[in-house]
Amino acid sequence: MAKNKARERNRSTVPPSEILRRSAPPIRAIAERLRKIIRGAVTELSESGHPGWRCIAYRHPRAGYVCGIFPLEGAVRLYFEHGARLADPIGLLEGTGRQTRYMAFATVREVSEKAAMVSILLREAIALKA
């Protein structure tokens, strides 16, 4: 029974602002900048908040779940669902798992500096799955 409740909580969605509501102002600012970049890079993406995962998820009509913004205490992580398969010649992606990789951002300036790469990786992630 507990597993079913956990699954339901992970599937329920809320407005993205609800995910960011309890984050510190600097973390909210980073996440909001990432949201703007992601929505500008690929307009077909749908955005939803997932309280069970404490993330803002992005889905593409053909590729499905592509990435998610995870606001943490000292940084925001942008996880790519199939990040291990993405080309990353300059080593921006972190993580060692079999599937996901992420970019970590501690300031809004970092987001702005890496905005072009976020867009490129996002489009590549969609192409891999579409």
Q: Mutual orientation of helices 115-129 and 25-41 as an angle, nearest 10°?
A: 50
Mean pLDDT of 62-85: 96
pLDDT at 3: 53
Partners of 59 in the β-ladder: 46, 65
Statement: residue 1 has pLDDT above 60 = no
Q: Which domains does the chain have, with CATH numbers?
A: 2-129 (3.90.1150)
pLDDT digits (tens, 9 = 90+) for 99-113: 999 999 999 999 999
**How many H helices and E strands in the chain?**
5, 5
Please determine, for residue 8, whether its predicted confidence score (pLDDT) is greater than 60. no
pLDDT tens sequence across 17-42 = 999 999 999 999 999 999 999 999 99
pTM of the model: 0.90
The stretch 56-62 carries a mean pLDDT of: 97
Tell me how far apart the terminal alpha carbons of the chain are, to the nearest angstrom.
35
